[in-house]
């Protein structure tokens, strides 16, 4: 049973370009969470999605960041017009059940390390 | 607001000795508590969690953690450390309310096990 998959593992962008990060949850999981990890810091929650729905985006910056989880295909975190401060590791996690089962473990992918030049 | 503190940035321990990685939390209510480990350039791997019941929780790779409500702590322990345990350890807390409550992480503790 494959775990959470993320690609690319490393992404380099110049300021002003767009970054697209992809996440495929574990088989049977329909709940996806995105986190950002800045150097020497813990992970910070960004957004929680179910298939075709954004459930909670309270941790995601209002400008330039968007996320989706279509009916078919992976979840995508999109960062438009990247700036140097966006350089970080972005992790995706999935769980089998959603917000009414907060005791469920979230399983993390290997992350995408974004570097903005 | 909920928060998690890992008071030590770095813990050094000799191989074969017991290890403890500390975690305290600040939330209202009875939280769910988690420990994850991160190896270099890898994602987080789940170690163990406390939901309810027995305060001593056993997890992967011989790790265990004790939930102490009066001290609001959830320290991670292992009786005998291995060099391969060297990694970054994160404690996390989640409120048990219905509706999405984010997983809130501490800043992490780097464990170094010396042969």
Taking the alpha carbons at both ends of chain B, their separation in whole angstroms is 41
| A56 part of contact set with chain B, CB < 8 Å | yes
Nearest residue, CB atoms, A105 vs list B46, B90, B104: B46
| A101 part of contact set with chain B, CB < 8 Å | no
Q: What angle do CA A15, A38, B30 make, to 5 degrees?
A: 140
Strands A10-13 and B19-21: unpaired
Instruction: Tell me if B104 and A103 make a contact (CB, 8 A cut-off).
Output: no
The average pLDDT across A59-74 equals 94
Instruction: Tell me if A42 and B106 make a contact (CB, 8 A cut-off).
Output: yes
Site of tokens 């509706």? B99
Q: How far is CA A117 from the centre of its chain?
A: 21
Query: Which one, of A69, A74, A65, A67, lies nearest residue A22 by Cα?
Result: A74
pLDDT of A1: 53
Interface test with A, best of B42, B43, B53 (most A CBs within 10 A): B43
| B104 part of contact set with chain A, CB < 8 Å | yes
| A59 part of contact set with chain B, CB < 8 Å | yes
Helix or strand run (H / E) with residue A22? strand A19-24
d(CA A17, CA A81): 5
The model's pLDDT over B54-66, given as tens digits with 9 standing for 90+, comes to: 999 999 999 999 9
The model's pLDDT over B5-40, given as tens digits with 9 standing for 90+, comes to: 999 999 999 999 999 999 999 987 788 999 999 988
| A74 part of contact set with chain B, CB < 8 Å | no
pLDDT of A79: 98
B residues 42-101 closer than 8 Å to A (CB):
42-46, 49, 51, 90, 92, 94-101
Q: How does residue A23 score in pLDDT terms, banded at 50, 70 and 90?
A: very high
Share of chain A above pLDDT 90, in %: 77
Q: How far is CA A113 from the centre of its chain?
A: 11
The model's pLDDT over A93-114, given as tens digits with 9 standing for 90+, comes to: 999 887 667 778 899 999 999 9
The model's pLDDT over A67-79, given as tens digits with 9 standing for 90+, comes to: 999 999 999 999 9
Task: Quote the radius of gyration of chain B (alpha carbons, Å).
Answer: 14
Instruction: Tell me if B100 and A109 make a contact (CB, 8 A cut-off).
Output: no
**Per-residue CA distances from A53 to A47, A49, B41 (Å):** 11, 6, 30
The model's pLDDT over B52-104, given as tens digits with 9 standing for 90+, comes to: 889 999 999 999 999 999 999 999 999 999 999 999 999 999 887 766 778 89
Q: Which of A14-28, A29-43, B97-111 has the lowest mean pLDDT?
A: B97-111
pLDDT of A41: 80
Q: Tell me whether residue B58 is exposed, middle or buried, using C-beta atoms within 10 angstroms of its C-beta: 0 to 12, 13 to 18, 19 or more.
A: exposed
Site of tokens 């017991």? B18
Strands A53-56 and A65-68: unpaired
Residues 6+ positions from B53 with CB-CB distance below 8 Å: none
């Amino acid at each position: 049973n494959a775990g959470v998959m993320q690609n690319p593992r490393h992404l380099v962008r110049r300021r002003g370009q767009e970054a697209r990060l992809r996440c495929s949850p574990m088989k049977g999981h329909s709940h996806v969470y995105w986190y950002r990890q800045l150097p020497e810091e813990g992970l910070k929650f960004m957004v929680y999605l179910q298939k075709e729905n954004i459930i909670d985006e309270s941790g995601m910056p209002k400008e330039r960041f968007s996320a989706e989880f279509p009916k078919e295909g992976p979840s995508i975190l999109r960062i438009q017009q990247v700036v140097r401060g966006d350089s970080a590791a972005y992790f995706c996690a999935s769980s089998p059940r959603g917000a009414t089962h907060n005791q469920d473990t979230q399983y993390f992918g290997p992350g995408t390390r974004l570097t903005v030049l | 607001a909920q928060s998690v503190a890992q008071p030590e940035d770095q813990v050094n321990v000799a191989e074969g000795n017991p290890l403890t990685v500390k975690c305290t939390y600040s939330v209202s209510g009875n939280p769910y508590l988690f420990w994850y480990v991160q190896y270099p350039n890898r994602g987080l791997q789940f170690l163990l969690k406390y939901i309810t019941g027995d305060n001593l929780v056993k997890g992967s790779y011989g790790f265990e953690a004790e939930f102490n409500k009066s001290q609001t702590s959830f320290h991670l322990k292992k009786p005998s450390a291995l060099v391969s345990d060297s990694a970054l350890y994160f404690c996390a807390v989640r409120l048990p309310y219905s509706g999405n409550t984010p997983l809130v992480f501490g800043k992490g503790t780097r464990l170094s096990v010396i042969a």
